[in-house]
Amino acid sequence: MSMVSLDMSPLIRPLYNVPSVVKVFDINGNAINEIELPSQFFEPIRPDLILRAYISALTARLQPKGTDPMAGKRTTAVSFGIGLGIARVPRVKGSLWPTARLAPNVVKGRRAHPPKVEKVLHERINKRERRKAIRSAIAATAIKDLVIARGHTVDKVPQIPLIVNDDFERISVMADLKKSLESLGLWDDIERVAERIRIRSGKGKMRGRRYKEGKSLLIVVSSTDASIIKVARNLPGVDVVPVRNLGVLYLAPGGVPGRLTLWTSSAIEELRKGLFMG
């Protein structure tokens, strides 16, 4: 009996719908133009691949560390053996009550399982997998449900994905930046992060990690020469990154996709040239 194959594609709907054409806003929050989104925004969402790429990028920053191989072993201690009524740990000769050394369970002994520099810390990932994860994370920034699920405040944001014209890159004064972010409905999310900054518990306070701060807006610009980079980097939870330096660490902090992202029109055009493809 011959099997008849049925085309089910018209009945299968994608989980998320992203419009192909979106509005472009000016720095005052007014819609002034329209732009077609590049193909990176229509990549299937792969949370598993995004998490793997995030762990790979995070572990790439770790520096190998280990103890001195001779730590706790610089001694002449030897075990006295059995029959003396004392433990058989290595002891230093020359005193009435010989001092134990060398064993892991004695004072000034070696550590049983110290950290070793030979330990592999970096979780490696293939280049094409990493690029696919970045495209997937880019696509997640265009889905409002995922942005809300991350905890961002988007009630006043006129559109997701939010795209502004290139005047935004030339902002050089904090007062102008705040006014623009308020007009675009993004200031509430920055205040959300500012209100939740807290002091870390534990000894990390003494090691340059005193405060814990959440993630808010990600601003993607076209180049490293944009003056907005120096202005916005002091806002709590805000990151500014050139489009060529995009990575999962920026797009999906903690490995969770859907970060609230503001794109400039020039950054979108850079994506259209084929970044992170192949």
Query: Domain boundaries in the chain?
Result: 13-60+122-272, 72-119
AA letter at 118: E
| Predicted confidence (pLDDT) at residue 274 exceeds the cutoff of 80 | yes
pLDDT grade, residue 16 (50/70/90)?
confident
- Alpha-helix residue ranges (DSSP H) falling in 41-198: 47-59, 127-140, 144-149, 174-183, 187-195
| pLDDT tens track for 174-198 | 999 999 999 999 999 999 999 999 9
Q: How far is CA 70 from CA 78, 154, 276, in A?
A: 16, 57, 47
- Which fold would CATH assign to domain 13-60+122-272? Ribosomal Protein L4; Chain: A; (3.40.1370)
Q: 202 φ, ψ to 5°?
A: 100, -175
Q: Greater confidence, 16 or 77?
A: 77
What is the structure's pLDDT at 278? 76
What is the structure's pLDDT at 8? 60
Q: 41 φ, ψ to 5°?
A: -80, -5
**Averaged over 142-151, what is the pLDDT?**
96
The angle subtended at Cα 40 by Cα 134 and Cα 259, nearest 5°, is 55
What is the C-alpha to C-alpha distance for residues 86 and 71, in angstroms, rounded to an integer?
25
pTM recorded for the entire structure = 0.86
